């Protein structure tokens, strides 16, 4: 089979959709060497390191008509490459159903709170139209929580939407690091309202009144989000290179991810795979991912968050069992399994399209 994947998310240097697209593309090509995979987008992007020989880069549009990418340019590229199926990795598929297509619907945040996604107007309109028009042959979500929410909101047939969990990259593992001069709590992710970062800072300030502990925020800041003023013990690292994250996770007193809403919560799994103590919210998708291997509190309960952080700061040795649970839980996920289940969806989409 020849499969085309939308790799536009690779034009953004960080983020969960970037990681999903990169890891899935590489895992598919590695585990299914009999297939040909084409990475298509109308923008510049870096080819993955150690790309298998069956993973190819498509051409960017060179004409005015080609730049009408989703209407004409993409279709031309797929015809040129004899593509059998298209996978839209980020909320989109072509408007013309000339071949089977699969759409990954990462979450429903664009439709839940416009303050969370102020720049997602195009996704709100376009993806809703595509789903209501039943243009994707099959839909993939990263969790059952998103799957059932999508079925209800967009009136999708349950047989045509499948939950396939993500995974942490193989390089996320426990790392021996020097004990930091000051213990630190760590948040990794895009710094934006949905991640509940301001509540985390408020809770950390309360903890710091009785325990000397820093707070490190690692990730890009979403445009329009205003960071608080600098203060003692609060550190903004910005986007951290992938190769540095395992040590950052491993050295943390706790990794804190009190998100208001998630489609999966990849930083939670990355931290667990590094053996970190994770304190997170009771968001359904995060609970689905972490099970009983993380400390969970209500995202809007500042007092509960303060209590959890205080316990981690006061008695870190009491959470050794939770760290062990985290590593064991993370073993249930791998990009190989994700690729295998995704490939099964491709076969199902082809059968449905031909029927």
Domains and CATH numbers, the chain: 2-167+334-354 (3.40.50.2000), 184-330 (3.40.50.2000)
Backbone dihedral angles phi then psi of residue 55, each to the nearest 5 degrees: -110, 120
**Who has greater pLDDT, 114 or 199?**
199
**Who has greater pLDDT, 293 or 120?**
293
Interval 296-351: pLDDT, tens: 999 999 999 999 999 999 999 999 999 999 999 999 999 999 999 999 999 999 99
Can you give the pLDDT at residue 228?
Answer: 87
Look over the chain and give the mean of its residue pLDDT values, rounded to a whole number. Answer: 94
Place of tokens 């730049």: 67
Interval 133-178: pLDDT, tens: 999 999 999 999 999 999 999 999 999 999 999 999 999 999 999 9
Can you give the pLDDT at residue 35?
Answer: 98
- Which pair of structure tokens corresponds to residue 124? 């709100």
Can you give the pLDDT at residue 308?
Answer: 98
Q: How many CA atoms lie within 13 A of 38 on its CB side?
A: 22
Interval 257-297: pLDDT, tens: 999 999 999 999 999 999 999 999 999 999 999 999 999 99
Can you give the pLDDT at residue 64?
Answer: 72
For the chain, percent of residues with pLDDT exceeding 70: 99
Nearest by Cα to 36 from 14, 4, 11: 4
| Cβ proximity of 131 and 167 under 8 Å | no
Q: Which is it for strands 254-257 and 278-281: parallel, antiparallel or unpaired?
A: parallel
Residue 14 has pLDDT above 80, yes or no: no
Can you give the pLDDT at residue 34?
Answer: 97
Confidence band for 105, pLDDT divided at 50, 70 and 90: very high
Going across the sheet that includes 214-218, the strands are: 234-238, 214-218, 184-188, 254-257, 278-281, 295-297
How far apart CA 63 and CA 352 sit, in angstroms, is 34
């Amino acid at each position: 089979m020849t499969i085309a994947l939308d790799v536009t998310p690779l034009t953004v240097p960080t983020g969960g959709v970037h990681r999903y697209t990169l890891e899935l593309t590489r895992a598919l090509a590695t585990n299914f060497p009999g297939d040909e995979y084409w990475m298509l987008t109308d923008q510049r992007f870096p080819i993955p390191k150690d790309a298998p020989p069956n993973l190819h880069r498509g051409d960017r549009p060179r004409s005015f008509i080609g730049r009408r990418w989703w209407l004409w340019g993409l279709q031309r590229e797929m015809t040129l490459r004899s593509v059998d199926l298209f996978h839209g990795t980020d909320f989109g598929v072509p408007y013309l159903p000339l071949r089977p297509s699969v759409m990954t619907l990462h979450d429903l945040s664009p439709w839940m709170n416009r303050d969370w996604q102020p720049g997602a107007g195009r996704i709100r309109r376009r993806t809703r139209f595509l789903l209501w028009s039943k243009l994707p042959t099959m839909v993939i979500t990263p969790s059952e929580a998103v799957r059932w929410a999508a079925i209800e909101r967009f009136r999708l047939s349950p047989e045509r939407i499948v939950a396939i969990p993500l995974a942490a990259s193989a390089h996320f593992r426990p790392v021996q690091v020097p004990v930091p001069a000051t213990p630190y709590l760590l948040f990794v992710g895009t710094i934006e309202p949905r991640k509940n970062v301001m509540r985390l800072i408020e809770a950390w300030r309360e903890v710091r009144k009785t325990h000397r502990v820093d707070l490190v925020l690692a990730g890009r800041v979403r445009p329009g989000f205003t960071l608080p003023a600098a203060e003692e013990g609060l550190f903004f690292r910005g986007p951290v290179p992938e190769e540095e994250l395992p040590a950052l996770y491993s050295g943390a007193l706790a990794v804190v991810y009190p998100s208001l809403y998630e489609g999966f919560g990849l930083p939670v799994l990355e931290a667990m795979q590094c053996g970190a103590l994770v304190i997170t919210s009771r968001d359904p998708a995060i609970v689905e991912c972490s099970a009983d291997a993380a400390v969970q509190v209500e995202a809007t309960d500042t007092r509960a968050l303060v209590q959890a952080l205080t316990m981690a700061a006061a008695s870190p040795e009491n959470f050794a069992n939770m760290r062990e649970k985290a590593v064991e839980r993370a073993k249930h996920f791998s990009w190989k399994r994700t690729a295998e289940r995704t490939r099964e969806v491709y076969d199902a989409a082809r059968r449905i399209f031909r029927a």
